[in-house]
Structure 1
Amino acid sequence: MTAIPDTARRNAGAGGFRLSQLARARGLAHAGLGIALLMGLWWLGGRAVANNPNMFAFADFAPGPTLSALWGIVQSGAVIDMSVPSLYRVGYGMLIAAALGIPVGIAIGRLPWLRELTNVPFQFLRMISPLSWMPIAVMAYDTWDGAIVFLISVAAVWPILFSTAAGVRRIDPAWLKVARNLGANPLHMLFVVILPAIAVDILTGVRLALGVAWVVLVPAEYLGVTSGLGYAINDARDTLDYAQLGAVVVVIGIIGFALDSGLAALIKRFNWVRASA
């Protein structure tokens, strides 16, 4: 077998590095172009609204007034005051959804009779809009925060549950057989075989659930709270401060994008299939 010269290996490595750098630069260029196109469409929409006598009041939605208001709330620290309560509610709701969805999903994936028993009820409940539970949440909880966390949990639990169950069903039965033959008890089976095998599925479900929860958050915060991003939008609407409203919408998009990107990075980090390829 002919050995590969060190020079050839170095050249191959350098070529791979250059290709990686080019791919990264191309991705950044495409992302920048996408942002530029979005800003251009936003500017054109703002001009159209400003030139329409019937919609002149909404001219502050244009990029100039909105970005000016955004800079104002960043400088004053108001962006932190309105974001922290929302992040707390989403985080608490996601924690409850994961605490329920992951173990139930594992049980459904492992037990065919339980999967058959719960499939129709769970699919039925999944298709009910989370905001439909709002009157029940208001009556069941003493605080508005509790009601909002409940709505977020109801919205987020299903993607986590079904993604976890699907991951368990895809586990190679040979892995479980080998673990049993090596004397693994149920706890070993869970923590050494099942959870590592479905880590990416769980994180994917959490990512999907976060997207749903972030969408539900704003209307849920219309309830009776006096803090949060949803309240800030409602307050800006009531005071006809459309520049402030647009700024809060941008903040919601930025935070949501950051959270989603963080989870995407975690999925890539724990994707052992890709890492071993």
Structure 2
Amino acid sequence: MVSAVFHNSLEAAAKAARGGERTRESSATHLIADSAHQKGATAQNDMTSPAISAPPVAPPTARRQWDASALWLGILPPLLGLGLLVLVWELVSMGTGASIPSPKDTFTQAVQIFSDPFYSKGPNDQGVGWNVLSSLKRVAMGFGMAAIVGIPVGFLIGRFTFLSRMFNPLISLLRPVSPLAWLPIGLLVFKGANPAAIWTIFICSIWPMIINTAVGVQRVPQDYMNVARVLNLSEWKIVTKILFPAVLPYMLTGVRLAVGTAWLVIVAAEMLTGGVGIGFWVWDEWNNLNVKNIIIAIFVIGIVGLILEYALIKLATAFTFEEVKN
């Protein structure tokens, strides 16, 4: 009897334990299902809820219209300026009784000249291409020597107060002198027209580079120099690591001014010295009373100067990491 009761009790306890396990399994199953249901509902809500809107993108038609308007704003003003120049030129030609050639006649002559710009029929009869190249060669030589001398001198003057006080009166005295006043000195010293022209370019191009470089050195923040003094840097380190990067924008501005001055000076110098060059070509055409070629030469001089200026602006922008405006 006792064993039967004990056996029945054990079976009841086992059944109860199995029932509890089923209950826990059922509860866990319901919890997992409820969690999955909640996640699905959340995902559905996320899909249906409004997201942060991206900035509106202009349609292709609007972008094309904006590009076209920007293009016209970049092209239309220069075209209007050139059109105004041609109009005034035509009116002056009509008012002077064709003493000044009209734009049409000058254009016809220009087409003829530029059809063969590199002909050579002797030292005094060469195409406009050879004359421009000869002038550019002289400018490159005089300007190059001015850069080699002027930039280091500008660094020294800006770096040392004693040298600044020593050279400032000399620069103020010599800088305003007309370029043509230096030409006879060059002819006297060098005994030749070509070196005299190069000398004139050199002496007139050196001042912008000296002045701008010296001003750039003097405007370097004093904190930079204090740090260099604390670190006990050598003078070479100060120049290459501190002064040169800070002075570069000023130096390139001086280079731009100098090359413009050099191109102006070479035309005047070649008018007086003769030989091959764009200035000599202008003077020779004046002696032949060929006004059309003189006007063409004026445009050639302006276009070459514009190209030089544009190239130096791009160079300054590339090295100074800022927009350089003309």
Equivalent in the alignment of 1:159: 208
Unaligned runs of 5+ in 2: 1-51, 118-126
- The yes-or-no answer on 1:118 pairing with 2:159 is no
Equivalent in the alignment of 2:283: 234
Go from structure 1 to structure 2 and tell me whether the alpha carbon gap of 1:188 and 1:16 turns closer, same or farther (over 3 Å shift).
farther
Equivalent in the alignment of 1:42: 89
Alignment of 1:164-179 (within 5 A): 164-179=213-228
SS in 1 for 2:276: coil
- The root-mean-square deviation of aligned C-alpha atoms, in Å, is 2.6
Identity of aligned residues (%): 31
SS in 1 for 2:173: helix
Counterpart Cα distance in 2 of 1:121 and 1:162 = 12
Unaligned runs of 5+ in 1: 51-55
- The alignment covers a number of residue pairs equal to 261
State which drifts further: 115-124 or 172-181: 172-181
Q: 1:260 corresponds to which letter in structure 2?
A: E
- The yes-or-no answer on 1:59 pairing with 2:100 is yes
Counterpart Cα distance in 1 of 2:277 and 2:83 = 29
Check the 8 A contact 1:70/1:248 in 2, yes or no. Answer: no
Equivalent in the alignment of 1:138: 187
Displacement of 1:191 in angstroms is: 2.0
- The yes-or-no answer on 1:70 pairing with 2:117 is no
* 2:243 maps to which of 187, 190, 194: 194
RCO (CA 8 Å, sep 6+): is it higher in 1 or 2? 1
Displacement of 1:17 in angstroms is: 12
Go from structure 1 to structure 2 and tell me whether the alpha carbon gap of 1:36 and 1:237 turns closer, same or farther (over 3 Å shift).
same
Q: Which has the higher helix share?
A: 1
Q: 2:204 corresponds to which letter in structure 1?
A: A
Q: 2:202 corresponds to which letter in structure 1?
A: S
Counterpart Cα distance in 1 of 2:161 and 2:53 = 55
Q: 1:59 corresponds to which letter in structure 2?
A: I
Counterpart Cα distance in 2 of 1:191 and 1:68 = 54
Counterpart Cα distance in 2 of 1:16 and 1:102 = 47
- The yes-or-no answer on 1:259 pairing with 2:299 is no
* 2:135 maps to which of 82, 86, 89: 86
Counterpart Cα distance in 1 of 2:132 and 2:177 = 28
Counterpart Cα distance in 2 of 1:160 and 1:37 = 36
State which drifts further: 262-271 or 17-26: 17-26
Deviations 1:149-201 (A, max 9, x none): 00011111111110111111111122233344445322222222212211111
Equivalent in the alignment of 1:244: 293
Go from structure 1 to structure 2 and tell me whether the alpha carbon gap of 1:142 and 1:186 turns closer, same or farther (over 3 Å shift).
same
Displacement of 1:28 in angstroms is: 2.5
Q: 1:68 corresponds to which letter in structure 2?
A: T
- The yes-or-no answer on 1:185 pairing with 2:225 is no
Displacement of 1:83 in angstroms is: 0.5
Q: Which has the larger radius of gyration?
A: 2
Check the 8 A contact 1:86/1:228 in 2, yes or no. Answer: yes
Equivalent in the alignment of 2:17: none
Q: 1:36 corresponds to which letter in structure 2?
A: G
Go from structure 1 to structure 2 and tell me whether the alpha carbon gap of 1:142 and 1:174 turns closer, same or farther (over 3 Å shift).
same
Go from structure 1 to structure 2 and tell me whether the alpha carbon gap of 1:256 and 1:9 turns closer, same or farther (over 3 Å shift).
same
Displacement of 1:27 in angstroms is: 3.0
Check the 8 A contact 2:197/2:273 in 1, yes or no. Answer: no
TM-score normalised by L of structure 1: 0.85
Displacement of 1:69 in angstroms is: 2.1
Check the 8 A contact 2:92/2:100 in 1, yes or no. Answer: no
Counterpart Cα distance in 2 of 1:230 and 1:105 = 31
TM-score normalised by L of structure 2: 0.73
Go from structure 1 to structure 2 and tell me whether the alpha carbon gap of 1:273 and 1:16 turns closer, same or farther (over 3 Å shift).
farther
State which drifts further: 217-226 or 85-94: 217-226
Check the 8 A contact 1:130/1:151 in 2, yes or no. Answer: yes
Deviations 1:229-257 (A, max 9, x none): 01100110011111111111111111011
Displacement of 1:21 in angstroms is: 7.9
Q: 2:234 corresponds to which letter in structure 1?
A: N
